[in-house]
Amino acid sequence: MKIVLVCGARPNFMKIAPLLTAMGKSGYSFNPLLVHTGQHYDYNMSRAFFEDLELPEPDIHLGIGAGTHGEQTGRTLIEFEKVLFKEKPNLVVVVGDVNSTLAAALAAVKLQIPVSHIEAGLRSFDLTMPEEVNRLLTDHISDYLFTPSPDANANLKREGTPDEKIHFVGNIMVDCLLANIEKAKRRPIPAGLNLPEKGYAVLTLHRPANVDVPETLDRLLGSILDVARMIPVVFPVHPRTRKRLEESGFIGKLAAESNRLLLIEPLRYLDFISLLLRSKFVMTDSGGVQPETTTLSIPCLTLRDSTEWVVTLTQGTNILVGDKAADLVTRVTEIMASPVTRKQRPPDRWDGKTASRIVDILKKALK
């Protein structure tokens, strides 16, 4: 069975790697074809992840690169359709919620090729987020919906999705995390940081709603600097965020606090997990970091007003704080007052066996 697996951005790689491994161990005649759209083109956000996760070289690289949401989606749709005409696969597998996800699913469904969506059913209920639009549309045109949590099932059923399309399998990104955690533990904290274990916080920031509006970015940075005066903050800076910081002139403001707010280059996967493991807490607007911190029992303060990972709020370590300085400082004060992070029980089926469940379902379906 020829199955095209599509990846394009950092979170996709961690979802594809366990699936390829499970297909190889299944004893079934899967013929996976890996297509990298090239939506993330920075080395540490793409190529280095293939090396860390021991992913094979992509069979096809579309080289889409940067652009507006419309440009990325349109170019991927055009180029991926050519792949489908040539390869004629039995199934297309898409993961997550990036522009490549929606574009590949659209190309496949228009050619009547079945589509499987991994990480289906997640909803933030915020249509100003491009990822929410991608999630909604991809789910409604997919044939196999593999969900990571019970709330995702409930969302799909409420939207009228037939039960037979919905499969609760768990979080495939946790498969990747658990498979690589021992390697990450052996990695030192990135060179030059000189920080004690549990003696620093980690920050990631890249969402357009947070970094594209100078007033919002200025307010957020003010809150983060307040935190940095309480505990050193390590900030691996997304290329897009660095560009916005430079355009707005805020990069100089942060440089003045460089002994407390440490700006570093984006990290490889294993280096980033190593940094998370030793941190006191995390501040983020990333969708991928929220389930990672819940799995690792690390307090997570999400710099958004909504999240698609509702299960990390109800069963994990995640707290929504938006961009309000007082809320962020209050939560950090509470975390700092606690000497030990309490071990959390992971959500149901976040056990490292999600990819195997998916493969078992596909084996039965494709027969």
pLDDT in tens, 11-29: 899 999 999 999 999 988 8
Q: Whole-prediction pTM value?
A: 0.94
The fold of 181-337 is Rossmann fold (3.40.50)
* pLDDT at res. 39: 67
* pLDDT at res. 339: 73
The answer to whether 198 and 226 are in contact (CB under 8 A) is no
β pairing state of 300-302 and 91-95: unpaired
* pLDDT at res. 40: 61
* pLDDT at res. 101: 96
Instruction: Give every residue of the chain whose pLDDT is below 50, as ranges.
Output: none
* The domains spanning 2-170+350-366 and 181-337 adopt the same CATH topology: yes
Query: In angstroms, what is the C-alpha Rg of the chain?
Result: 20
Q: How far apart are CA 16 and CA 13, in angstroms?
A: 5
The answer to whether 327 and 335 are in contact (CB under 8 A) is no
Domain boundaries, the chain: 2-170+350-366, 181-337
CA of 33: how far to CAs of 30, 52, 116, in Å? 10, 20, 14
Nearest CA to 36 out of 20, 28, 26, 47 is that of: 47
What is the tens place of the pLDDT at every residue in 211-252?
988 888 888 999 999 999 999 999 999 888 999 999 888 888
CATH class of 2-170+350-366: alpha beta
Enumerate the active-site residues: 206
* pLDDT at res. 45: 59
* pLDDT at res. 9: 82
Q: What angle do CA 281, 283, 288 make, to 5 degrees?
A: 100
